[in-house]
Copies of this chain bind each other. A is one copy, B any other.
Amino acid sequence: MLCLGIFSQISLIFAENMISSEPIDEKVEDKVKKNHIIDSVNMLIFLFLLILTTVTIWAFKYRRIRFLHETGLAMIYGLVVGAIIRYASPGIARTHFVTTLPQYENFTRNDPPDGIWLSIRDRSNQTSRNTTFEYSYVGQLYEETEDKDLEAKATFDPEVFFQVLLPPIIFHAGYSLKRRHFFRNLGSIFLYAFLGTTVSCFVVGSLMFAFVQMMPYLPFSFNDCLFFGAIISATDPVTILAVFSDLKVDVDVYALIFGESVLNDAVAIVLAGAIETYSNTGSGPGFEVTAFFKSVGNFLGIFCGAFAIGSSMGCITALLTKFTKIKEYPLLETALFFLMSYSTFLMAEAAELTGIVAVLFCGITQAHYTYNNLSVESRGRTKQLFELLNFLSENFIFSYIGVSVFTFSNHHWEVGFIMLAIVAIVIGRAMNVYPLSFLLNLGRKQKITYAYQHMMMFAGLRGAIAYALAIRNTASVARQTMLSTTVIIVLFTVIVLGGCTTPMLSWLKIRVGVEDEQEMHHFTAVRTPSPSSPHVASHVAPLSHEARAQEKARLVRVWYNFDYKFLKPLLTNSRPLLTETLPTFCMPLARLLTTDEQANTPLDEDKDDDSELIVADSYYSISGHQSFQNADDEELILDDGSHGVAAAAVHSSEVNNSASSDARPPDRVQAPAADDAFTGDLGLGDHVMQARVRLPGPLGDSV
C-alpha cells in the first residue's frame, strides 16, 4: 500500500507450469493429504532407522562387538538411508511460487503453490543483492480479520493432535484394556460401538439437518450434518472412567462403557472419513448409490486395513522380542517397543488409513502377545511410560480446549445451533443405548439393567477425539460452527456430567466399592464347596439352549483355540509348544520357531498366562461335554492332550482342574490379582475363575 523509504523490489514468478482445471477445494484437500503423507513418511524413515539401530545395538552387545558404538551405528545407517533417499527414491514434486515480479501479470493457477519464495532487492546496501525468503503453505484462510494476530498466541497446528497427542492416549487405552472384562462383554461392546455409533451419527445428522432448515443463514448441507453427527458421536472415556476407578464401580458397567468408548472413537474417526469421502464423491445434493457404497467400502477398507497393520505390527514386535534376547537390556527393549508402536501409527497414516485405529489394535496385540515376552523391568517401564504419556497428552488436550475457546480465531458461535445440537446428541445417545440394550437383553443371560442403561446414557461425555476431529478442518463456516459447538458440548459434558457422576451412581443405586478382590472372594467362596459341582453346571447349562448362540460360541471357540495353540506359542514364550500343537509334518518348522526359553518355561506359568482364554474356551465346552470332571491328571493332559483335535474338551478339563486347584488354596488366586487386576490386567489371566459365576462366557451376551 505504501511505497516509502528505501527502494526495494519483490519479485514473484512461477517455478513450474502445471495448470489444472480442478476446483480449488479439492486441490487444497489433496495438498493437506499429500503433506500429511510426506510428514508421516519422513518421520517413519527415522523411526525405522532407530528400530534398526536398537536391534543392531542389541546384537552388538550380545556378541560383544565393540569396534562400532551405537552412535556410530546410527550414523552409518543414516548415511546409507540418506543416500538411498537421495539417489534412489522418486522425487517429491513440490510446487514453488518464485521470484522476480515484472513478468508477473496474470496468475493462472487454481492450485496454490506449496511454497513462496519472496525476493527482496535490498538497494539500500549498494550491493543490489537479492535476499530471498521462504514461506511454507499453512492452509486456506477464511477470515482476514484483525483477530488473525491471535493465531500466534497459544495455538498449535491441529495436526499436532493427530500426530502427537492422540496416539499415546489411544495406544494406552488398548494396552491397558482390561481384556477379561472386555472380552466377556465383547458382543455387546461391538454392537454398541459399531451399530450404536452409526445410529447416533445418523440420528444426530438427520436431526441437525432438520434443525438447520430453521436457520437458513447457516450453510449446512446434509453431508455436513452427517459429518457433525460422526465427530460428535465419539464419546470420551477419560473423565467418567477416572471416577469409576476411584469409586470401584461394578465391573460390568465399567467394561461396557470403557469398551464402547474406546472402539467408538475408532468407529467415529473412520465414519467421519467415510462421510467426507462420500461428500467428495457424490457432488450432487441427493442420495447417490455409488458414492454411498464407495464410502461404506471405504469404511470397511479403512477399518480392516488399520486393524491389519496394527495387529501385524504388534505380532512383529512380539516376534522380535521373542527371538532376540533383547530383554537382557530393558532400555533397548522399551525403546524398541515404543518405536514399533509409534511406527504403526505412522505406517497407517502414510497408507492413508487411520493411525488411531491401527494404534488401538496394536496396543491390544502388544498387551496380548508382546507383553508376555518382555522382561519384568520392561513391563513396568512400558506401562509407566504410556501411563505418563497418556496423562500428559490428555491433560494437554483438555487444557488446549479451554485455552482455544478464546485464542483460536476460526470459531463461529451459533447459540441456536449449539442448543439444538445438545438436544440432538441426547436423542442420538438415547437411540443408541436403549434400543440396543433391549436387543442385547433378548440374548444376554446377565441383563443390562435399566440402571446400567441410564448410566451408559449418562456416560456419553464428549472429549478429546471429538475435538481433534472438529479442529482438523475449519475450512468453511459449517465446519467452524461444528468446532465451536463441539467445544461447548465438550465443556458442558465434561464439567457438568463429569461432576455429577458420583451423585448419578448413587441415585441409580449402582454398586460402588466393588473390590475385584472381594468379588473373587465371593466367587471363590461360592465355588469352593464343590469345584466341579452342579452349581457351576447350572450356570453353564442354559448356554446350550440356542443354536445361534452355539454357532457364535463355536466361532469364538475356534479363535481361542487357534490363539492358544498356534498364535501364543508362535509369538510368545508360553506353552504349549508349537512342537506339541503343530501336525507332525511341520516339526522342523515348529522346532525352529520354538526357543530354548520357551521349552524351559514351567508349565504352571504358562497355564496362568492363558487361563482367561481357557476359561472362555472351556465354558462352552463344559456345556457340551458335561462329563469332563477328571481332576487329577492335569500334567498328563497338558502334555499330551493338546496334540489331538478334541482340544476344546481337553482344555475344559484342564480349566476345571485349575479351577479346582485354585479353589483348594484360595491364596493362590488372591495373591496376584487384587487391585492390580483392575488397574492393568496386562499380566493376562492370573485371576482364573472368578469371572465364571458372574457372566456366563467371553460373549456374555449370548444366551
Q: Mark A1-39, 1 if CB is under 8 A from B, else 0.
A: 111111111101110010111011000100000000010
> From residue A225, how far is it (CB to closest CB) to chain B in Å?
23
A587 located at the interface, meaning its Cβ lies under 8 Å from any Cβ of chain B in the complex: no
Question: B116–A118 contact, CB under 8 A?
Answer: yes
Question: A494–B407 contact, CB under 8 A?
Answer: no
Residues on the B chain within 8 Å of A82, using CB: 154, 402-407
Which residue, of A71, A79, A338, has the highest number of chain B Cβ atoms within 10 A? A71
Chain A residues 293-335 with CB under 8 Å of chain B are 331-332, 334-335
A455 located at the interface, meaning its Cβ lies under 8 Å from any Cβ of chain B in the complex: no
A396 located at the interface, meaning its Cβ lies under 8 Å from any Cβ of chain B in the complex: yes
A391 located at the interface, meaning its Cβ lies under 8 Å from any Cβ of chain B in the complex: yes
Question: B69–A239 contact, CB under 8 A?
Answer: yes
Question: A2–B17 contact, CB under 8 A?
Answer: yes
A153-B92 Cα distance, complex, nearest whole Å: 8
A103-B12 Cα distance, complex, nearest whole Å: 15
A80-B472 Cα distance, complex, nearest whole Å: 24
Contact of A75 among B5, B10, B402 (CB under 8 A): B402
Residues on the B chain within 8 Å of A106, using CB: 3, 7-9
Question: B388–A331 contact, CB under 8 A?
Answer: yes
A139 located at the interface, meaning its Cβ lies under 8 Å from any Cβ of chain B in the complex: yes
A630 located at the interface, meaning its Cβ lies under 8 Å from any Cβ of chain B in the complex: no
In the complex where A85-B406, A135-B115 touch, is A152 in contact with B3 (Cβ < 8 A)? no
Q: Mark A263-276, 1 if CB is under 8 A from B, else 0.
A: 00000000000000
Number of residues of chain A lying within 8 A (CB) of chain B: 139
Question: A71–B494 contact, CB under 8 A?
Answer: yes
A67 located at the interface, meaning its Cβ lies under 8 Å from any Cβ of chain B in the complex: yes
Task: Given A5-B109, A335-B388, output 10 extra A-B contacts at Cβ < 8 Å.
Answer: A7-B108, A24-B122, A49-B402, A71-B498, A78-B405, A79-B406, A82-B402, A89-B153, A92-B153, A334-B388
Pick the 7 closest A-B CB pairs, nearest first: A78-B402, A82-B406, A10-B107, A74-B398, A135-B135, A82-B403, A86-B406
Residues on the B chain within 8 Å of A404, using CB: 78, 82
Q: Which residue of B lies closest to A153 (CB)?
A: B85
> From residue A348, how far is it (CB to closest CB) to chain B in Å?
20
Q: Which residue of B lies closest to A68 (CB)?
A: B499
Residues on the B chain within 8 Å of A70, using CB: 239, 242, 395, 398
Contact of A403 among B85, B150, B339 (CB under 8 A): B85
A501-B491 Cα distance, complex, nearest whole Å: 59
Interchain residue pairs with CB less than 8 A apart (25): A5-B20, A9-B106, A9-B107, A28-B131, A42-B155, A46-B154, A46-B403, A69-B243, A78-B403, A79-B406, A82-B402, A82-B405, A86-B150, A86-B153, A86-B407, A94-B151, A96-B148, A110-B120, A115-B138, A116-B118, A133-B138, A133-B141, A331-B391, A335-B391, A338-B392
A83-B407 Cα distance, complex, nearest whole Å: 8
Question: A112–B107 contact, CB under 8 A?
Answer: no
Chain A residues 128-159 with CB under 8 Å of chain B are 131-142, 144, 148-156
A93 located at the interface, meaning its Cβ lies under 8 Å from any Cβ of chain B in the complex: yes
Q: Which residue of B lies closest to A395 (CB)?
A: B74
Question: A133–B125 contact, CB under 8 A?
Answer: no
A117 located at the interface, meaning its Cβ lies under 8 Å from any Cβ of chain B in the complex: yes
